[in-house]
Every structure is written in structure tokens, then in C-alpha cells.
Amino acid sequence: MDIAKAIRTIPDYPKPGIQFRDITTLLGDARAFRITVDRMVQPWAGAKIDLVAGTEARGFILGGAVAHQLSSGFIPVRKKGKLPYHTIEERYELEYGEDAVEIHKDAVKEGDRVLMVDDLIATGGTAEATIKLLQRAGATVIGASFVIDLPDLGGAKRIEAMGVPVSSLVAFEGE
């Protein structure tokens, strides 16, 4: 099955020149959703993953399903200010300004083997911040798994340069 066909593209959203890759159509298609999760899990089956870390918000949906299939725990990686207990944060640059991701300070134990999951990697800024945060918390980040890669933006290379292997299912040209 070609899961690229289950992904909807919205031109010029949220601003001109961006092709927004909308996975809600994929999530709403039972077969496409199952095959996507199966394929995301496949490279990491047998890798003894303790925890899957999913980045807000679409990473929660995919990461939860991947964690279930790997029999792992799940860590929600949230935007600043959303988590109720003591947190640690990692800031990252946006095109305009700055943002931060957070996890609870006790979300990871030293040496836990963690797989990071999100729907899409573009510049890799979000993934890099997420991985640095997990590593600072004591995790060994075993890999990062995405449905979609935008290779022209270089994110996957950036993450691999950190020594973290990347897997993705579909590549789209452009931004």
C-alpha cells in the first residue's frame, strides 16, 4: 500500500509556499493507519525500546500506537507550560523567535532506551531539541521515527549527525 496517497496536501498553509502534509486523512483510514504504525515499528522491533517519546501533538497519536505495539512506555514531549509536575525544558529556534519542549523531570531513568516519534521531520529543529532533552534526562536515544521526511530541509541528516538513526516512510520534495 502506498501510504503517501492517504496523506492530504494543503497548499499555502499556514502560509504561502508551505505545502502542509495533513495526516488526519491517513489516521481516518483504518488500513492506512495500521500499516503506517506497523511500518514505523518494524525497524525497531527487537531493539529493546523501554520508552517511546512522542512530540506534541501528532507525535502523541502515532507514538502511543507505536509504544503499544513495542510494549513500551510512553513519554509525552509537550510545549512549554502544559505539564503539571516538575519539568526540564530544551529551547529551540523558530523562524521567528524561540520555543521550548518539556518533559517531567522523572520521565526517564538513566540508561532508558528511548525511541522518538513524530509525524514529520522538516528542518529537524523540533526533533533535535526533543533528543537533547531526552539525553539530558539520562536517556539513550536509540532512534527517531517519522511518517514523513522533507529531505530538502535536511532534518534527517541533522539528526543522524547527532548519532541518532532516523527512519521515515514517505519523502516529499519541497517545504
Catalytic residues: 58, 95
Kindly state the smallest distance separating residue 32's Cβ from ligand AMP, in Å.
Answer: 17
- Output phi, psi for 3, to 5 deg: -70, -15
Of the candidates 78, 77, 54, the residue with the CA atom closest to the CA atom of residue 65 = 54
Answer whether 36's CB lies under 8 Å from 63's CB. no
* Contact status: 139 vs ligand AMP (CB under 6 A): no
Q: Say how far apart CA 172 and CA 33 lie, in whole Å.
A: 19
* Contact status: 126 vs ligand AMP (CB under 6 A): yes
* Contact status: 121 vs ligand AMP (CB under 6 A): yes
| In 16-154, alpha helices (H) | 24-27, 30-41, 58-70, 125-136
* Contact status: 19 vs ligand AMP (CB under 6 A): yes
Answer whether 113's CB lies under 8 Å from 48's CB. yes
Considering only the stretches 15-23, 32-40, 45-53, 100-108, report the one whose residues sit in contact with ligand AMP under the rule CB under 6 A.
15-23
- Output phi, psi for 111, to 5 deg: 85, -5
* Contact status: 36 vs ligand AMP (CB under 6 A): no
Q: Say how far apart CA 23 and CA 15 lie, in whole Å.
A: 18
For residues 144-163, which are near ligand AMP according to CB under 6 A? 155
Considering only the stretches 17-25, 81-89, 98-106, 163-171, report the one whose residues sit in contact with ligand AMP under the rule CB under 6 A.
17-25
Considering only the stretches 26-34, 70-78, 123-131, 162-170, report the one whose residues sit in contact with ligand AMP under the rule CB under 6 A.
123-131
Kindly state the smallest distance separating residue 19's Cβ from ligand AMP, in Å.
Answer: 6
Instruction: List residues binding ligand AMP (CB under 6 A).
Output: 18-21, 55, 58, 118-127, 155
